[in-house]
Amino acid sequence: MKVGRSLGCLMVVALAAAAAGGAALGQAATTIPKDALVQPEALHRELQANPHAALILQVGSRMMFDQDHIPGAEYAGAGSRPEGLQALRMRVGGLPRSKAIVLYCGCCPWDKCPNVAPAWQLLHGMGFTHVRVLYIAQNFGTDWVARGYSAERTQ
């Protein structure tokens, strides 16, 4: 009887995870593997060499994105919100799983950012093999714009 109840609980958890596309809302950015991170300076140089090196998706806030974002980036919805993850899923759904993608947020200090880890987990769970996350220590203003790296506002 206990086994049956446990199996039932497991199924409920599995269904919930499937509904979230394998992403766990509330996960901290610190759970993202270090080898999946890209530093701001490295990405800046990469984009200088090839502006189309990767699909860049901001997964934080529309208001922040519209003020300033990495040139060529798209807003994909807040990674901490179910509707944001759904929008992200829709955006990448038809892409080859080998597509180079960079996710970033920059809303808050890295260890407090609620948006990037669920977004990274979603793409990882969908089978994308070349997903990196921009490591932003403080916020996008301090770690990207104030350093003089290219940024643009939404027209």
Partner 1 sequence: MRTLVAGAVLVGVMNCAGRAQEPRSLVGRRAPEFSLDDLHGTHVDLARDRGKVVLLNFWATWCAPCKVEMPRFMEWQREYGARGLVVVGVSIDDSEAPARAFVEKLHVNYPVVMGNAQLGERYGGVLGVPVTFLIDRAGVVRARFDGEEHLGAEERQMRGLLGGSER
**Which run of H or of E encompasses 39?**
none
Distance CA 27, CA 6 (A): 24
* Among the listed residues 21, 22, 72, 109, the single contact to partner 1 using CB under 8 A: 109
Q: Residue 66 Cβ, how far from partner 1 at the closest point, in Å? A: 3
| 44-73 positions binding partner 1, by CB under 8 A | 61-64, 66-68, 71
Q: What is the Cα 93 distance to its own chain's centre? A: 15
Binding letters toward partner 1, positions 1-40, x by CB under 8 A: ----------------------------------------
Q: Residue 152 Cβ, how far from partner 1 at the closest point, in Å? A: 6
Residue nearer to partner 1 on the CB measure, 47 or 128: 47
Among the listed ranges 9-17, 34-42, 94-102, 104-112, the one in contact with partner 1 (CB under 8 A) is 104-112
CA angle 29, 108, 33 (to 5 degrees): 15
Q: Residue 109 Cβ, how far from partner 1 at the closest point, in Å? A: 7
88-111: string of b/e by CB count within 10 Å (b at 16+)? bbebbeeeeeeeebbbbbbbbebe
Distance CA 39, CA 22 (A): 26
